[in-house]
């Protein structure tokens, strides 16, 4: 009889960021940290960027950690920014790479406008200051501005900067048009990957709008939803486990770790998925081969 590992017992962490997007650690350092924390199945999911994938994969494999290619795509839906994680992607896929390049291109113009508005609001040296935190010139994020503002002493932490400067209605907010939900899912599926609706508890939707999002996501080929993640409370683990079941979606798990110094949930240190949901990795060869080696 062949041995089949238990998918519910697996310490999978399938959502985090390196300094190729708005995290602070190099891709290889993240893989090392994941291994040190007992993660068994790992993915780096930088925002709109895959240039750290090879480094993360090599470092993970060197530590005996199973790796799947990942990305987190910024999408505009229902007047909000929604994030879609792609897992098990072929990160060299040309249409995926072209779509991500287009998504990144808009960030530069947006960042220049954010910098202009922040300077008017009294943030010194906003453009150059944010750039000092950027690890990949192709990807400037609001987080880089937030780190600069903390460094200036205007706020105590990144969360406070978002509340005071960077969210809708605040002085540094710039409206932006990201990818469409359907195209992001197409890029992921075209690259052989699985589309996962990221941190559903973070969106400001009422139940009706959230259900519309989940239905549209599924109809467009989305296959899973994050149930246990760094931005969910325990109540939200239960709530989104129910949503996963009712919608017929698999469940994913990931810390959404960005930086050791910013009160993020630590890699691999989350509760396991509840028994009621189907772990998205249940039939993946990377998971099944884990203990065969």
87's tokens: 């897992």
Instruction: Name the residue among 170, 171, 65, 77 with its Cα closest to residue 119.
Output: 171
The contact set with ligand AMP (CB under 6 A) reads 22, 47, 74, 141-143, 158-159, 162, 258
Nearer to Mn ion, 83 or 232 (CB): 83
Q: Which residue has the tokens 């229902």?
A: 78
Per-residue contact string for residues 202-241; x = within reach of Mn ion by CB under 5 A: ----------------------------------------
Binding site partner of 223, from Mn ion, ligand AMP, none, Cβ cut-off 5-8 A by kind: none
Distance CA 51, CA 192 (A): 18
Nearer to Mn ion, 254 or 279 (CB): 254
Q: Please, what is the minimum distance in Å from the beta carbon of residue 283 to ligand AMP?
A: 29
Distance CA 184, CA 83 (A): 9
Instruction: Name the residue among 231, 197, 255, 273 with its Cα closest to residue 34.
Output: 255
Say if residue 233 is exposed, middle or buried (CB neighbours under 10 Å; 0-12, 13-18, 19+): exposed
| Residue among 7, 14, 22, 31 that touches Mn ion (CB under 5 A) | 22
Binding site partner of 189, from Mn ion, ligand AMP, none, Cβ cut-off 5-8 A by kind: none
Which residue has the closest beta carbon to Mn ion?
A: 83
Helices (H), the chain: 27-36, 53-62, 94-120, 126-131, 142-151, 158-161, 181-190, 207-219, 234-247, 285-288
Nearer to ligand AMP, 108 or 283 (CB): 108
Binding site partner of 142, from ligand AMP, Mn ion, none, Cβ cut-off 5-8 A by kind: ligand AMP
| Residue among 33, 83, 133, 142 that touches Mn ion (CB under 5 A) | 83
Binding site partner of 124, from ligand AMP, Mn ion, none, Cβ cut-off 5-8 A by kind: none
Half-sphere exposure of 121 (CA within 13 A, CB side): 18
Binding site partner of 18, from ligand AMP, Mn ion, none, Cβ cut-off 5-8 A by kind: none
The residues that touch Mn ion, with contacts defined as CB under 5 A, are 22, 72, 83, 198, 256
């Amino acid at each position: 009889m062949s041995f089949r590992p238990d998918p519910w017992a697996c310490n999978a962490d399938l959502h985090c960021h390196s300094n190729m997007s708005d995290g602070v650690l190099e891709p290889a350092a993240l893989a090392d940290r994941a291994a040190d924390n007992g993660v068994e199945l790992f993915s780096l999911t930088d925002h709109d960027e895959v240039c750290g994938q090879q480094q993360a994969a090599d470092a993970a494999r060197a530590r005996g950690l199973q790796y799947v290619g990942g990305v987190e795509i910024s999408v505009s839906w229902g007047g909000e920014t929604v994030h879609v994680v792609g897992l098990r992607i072929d990160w060299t896929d040309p249409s995926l790479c072209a779509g991500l390049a287009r998504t990144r291109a808009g960030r530069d113009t947006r960042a220049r406008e954010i910098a202009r508005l922040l300077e008017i609001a009294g943030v010194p040296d906003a453009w150059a200051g944010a750039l000092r935190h950027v690890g990949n010139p192709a990807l400037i994020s609001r987080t880089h501005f937030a780190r600069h503002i903390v460094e200036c002493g205007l706020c105590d932490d990144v969360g406070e900067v978002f509340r005071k400067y960077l969210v809708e209605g605040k002085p540094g907010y710039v409206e932006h048009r990201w990818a469409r939900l359907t195209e992001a899912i197409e890029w992921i599926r075209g690259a052989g990957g699985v589309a996962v609706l990221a941190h559903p508890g973070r969106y400001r939707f009422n139940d009706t709008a959230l259900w519309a999002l989940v239905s549209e996501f599924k109809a467009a080929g989305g296959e899973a939803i994050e149930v246990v993640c760094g931005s969910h409370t325990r109540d939200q683990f239960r709530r989104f486990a129910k949503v996963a079941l009712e919608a017929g979606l698999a469940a994913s798990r990931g810390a959404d770790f960005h930086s050791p110094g910013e009160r993020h949930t630590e890699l691999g240190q989350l509760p396991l998925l509840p028994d009621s949901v189907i772990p998205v990795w249940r039939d993946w060869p990377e998971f099944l081969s884990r203990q065969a080696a």
